[in-house]
Amino acid sequence: MKVLVAGGAGFIGSHLIDALLKENHTVVCIDNFFIGTKENIKHLKGNKNFIFYEQDLCDINKLKSIFEKEKIEYIFHLAANSDIQASAKNPVIEYNNTYTTTFNILECMRLYDVKKVFFASTSAVYGEKNGVDVAENNTTLEPISYYGASKLGSEAIINAYTYMNNYKTLIFRFPNVIGPRLTHGVIFDFIKKLENNNEKLQILGDGNQTKPYMYVYDLVDAIIKFKDKIEEGVTIYNIGVDTHTSVTKIADIICEKMNLKDVKYDYTGGKGGWKGDVPKFSYNLNKIHSAGWKAKYTSDEAVEETVKEELKKRGYK
């Protein structure tokens, strides 16, 4: 099968491509390197089943030419701005990279008769629920970040295109995903700060912000497992882990792995780290567990593995 991975040079997208190639699919990757990196896909150079286009998905005419040429059968849409703090300062980032990319892909699917799509959505569509378990169909959707709003808008337009064109659509709403090739986020920020000053670490908020952190290999495993198990219409799953990790715990793990003792934590105060941050989040995962999937890594284990990978990359033993 020939598939398109939009945002395939990104952290999650590049891991998904690896898994799809192992299943002997031909993978067309489109990325403009806004978030993704050439480093993430350099190991794929020379692979006869990997086709790469350095292209902005906001340019629908160039996107149409790719659809015309490649005869794509399945879309995996992971193109988005995943750096929520960046778009807090410039909301246009989300309109272009998260919402417009979705609309353009859906329109090309309509024009070129592609019927299957996976969309990477997010827990941010639920908004701030103060740690109450949120389920797919019985929870209000009230995003508080531009990122969450653009993902929810994308879900809405996906629903309309799916109904009007008889698509088979799979949507995963996932939490913070971490692992090898991660380029931003709290783990990345803490390590950089500690490299600059190993005696004091500034932590945004009160350190009690607590969220589920999911290992990227678990997420990719679920995408691969469910990608062909969808019927006509939209199927939505919360996906994640049923454990949680606090920001202070992340700092503790990093300090331990860097062999740093007596680091003073400097909390900025407040329940959230920054405007648009959801300080506590918890999923109801009954639906996906009942469908036969469960994460292998706990939240703490995902953090520990990610820290070890990042430190190894930076030359730590």
Give the separation between CA 37 and CA 74, rounded to whole angstroms: 23
Which residues are the active-site residues? Answer: 147
Query: Which residues share a beta bridge with 169?
Result: 117, 234
Give the separation between CA 281 and CA 209, rounded to whole angstroms: 9
The neighbour count for residue 182, using CB atoms within 10 Å, is: 18
Q: How far is CA 306 from CA 16, 177, 215, 242, 248, in A?
A: 17, 10, 8, 18, 16
Residue 287 belongs to what H/E stretch?
helix 286-290
Place of tokens 């990104």: 10
Structure tokens, 33: 């390197």
Find out whether 148 and 87 touch, Cβ atoms under 8 Å. Answer: no
| Residue 122 CA from chain centroid, whole number | 7
Find out whether 167 and 161 touch, Cβ atoms under 8 Å. Answer: yes
| DSSP codes of every residue in 71-120 | ---EEEE--S---HHHHHH-THHHIIIIIIHHHHHHHHHHHHT--EEEEE
SS3 212: coil
Burial class (CB in 10 A: 0-12, 13-18, 19+), 92: exposed
Q: Mention every residue, 6+ apart, whose C-beta is less than 8 A from residue 256.
A: none
Q: Mention every residue, 6+ apart, whose C-beta is less than 8 A from residue 250.
A: 186, 187, 190, 303
